[in-house]
Amino acid sequence: MEITYHGHSVIAIKLEDGTDLLFDPFITGNPKTDLVAAEVKTDYILVTHGHSDHVGDMVAIAKNCNATIIGMVELCNFAEKNGVKNTHGMNIGGKFDFPFGRVKMVHAQHSSGYEVERQMVYLGEAAGFILQAEGKTIYHAGDTSNFGDMALFGEAFSIDVAFLPIGDNFTMGPTEAASAAKRLQAKQVVPIHYNTFPLIEQDPNAFIALLPTGVGKVMAVGERLTL
């Protein structure tokens, strides 16, 4: 599989059979991405929670690509009401075997809501995803604090790459993310959700320095990682 980082929490994965996955498609209005929403091609869109910097362009991309949105049931219902034809609602603790692999939805400690005409719409609990495909395991934590159950994830799965937020203020910061990485025992850890806005400015290399040698990797926007 080929993993590409597109800024903030946007992760794209291309599988060997050509299937494209896109996580948290915050593109329009994202000063750190290299993508243009109208040009994105994907088969599945996985959304961790309902904040605008994660929901992003999910509706427009899903319609344009006839892609399936995977997320909390409330988030998927919201997408359907906005004209998306294909969704797959899940909830925390559940897993499902898709044609491309298995997705498990796991807990995240965060809030979730989307503003529509000055009203906040509840889009379900915040979550993370553990993807198992092509013999590899990828953990996208979404937005979260450091919490003890991450140790259970590390025990239950041999995680090849974990994408962890380090921006602080809205999520865990570098120190807490380093503790989370220890719980997860991931072979490789990539920081996300930082430097997009002033409130989440962090030095990703300082975070990497908190991890065991060789575990941390800062991915530049547009950089690819092949597993």
Indicate if the pLDDT at residue 194 is higher than 90. yes
Q: Which residues pair with residue 72 across a beta bridge?
A: 90
Mean pLDDT for the stretch of residues 61-89: 98
- For the cut 90, the answer to whether the pLDDT of residue 200 exceeds it is yes
Judged against a pLDDT cut of 90, whether residue 207 lies above it is answered with: yes
pLDDT digits (tens, 9 = 90+) for 102-112: 999 999 999 99
| pLDDT tens, residue by residue, 145-191 | 999 999 999 999 999 999 999 999 999 999 999 999 999 999 999 99
pLDDT value of position 105: 98
Tokens for 74? 């409330």
**Which residues are registered as beta bridge partners of 68?**
44
Phi, psi of 176 (to 5 degrees): -65, -40
Enumerate domains of the chain plus CATH numbers.
2-219 (3.60.15.10)
89-96: average pLDDT: 98
How many contiguous H segments (helices) and E segments (strands) does the chain have?
Answer: 6, 15
In angstroms, rounded to a whole number, what is the distance separating the alpha carbons of residues 221 and 202? 15
The average confidence (pLDDT) of the chain is 98
118: pLDDT confidence band, cut at 50, 70 and 90?
confident
pLDDT of residue 117: 86
Instruction: Residue 91: count other Cβ atoms within 10 Å of its Cβ.
Output: 13
Q: First CA to last CA across the chain, in angstroms?
A: 5
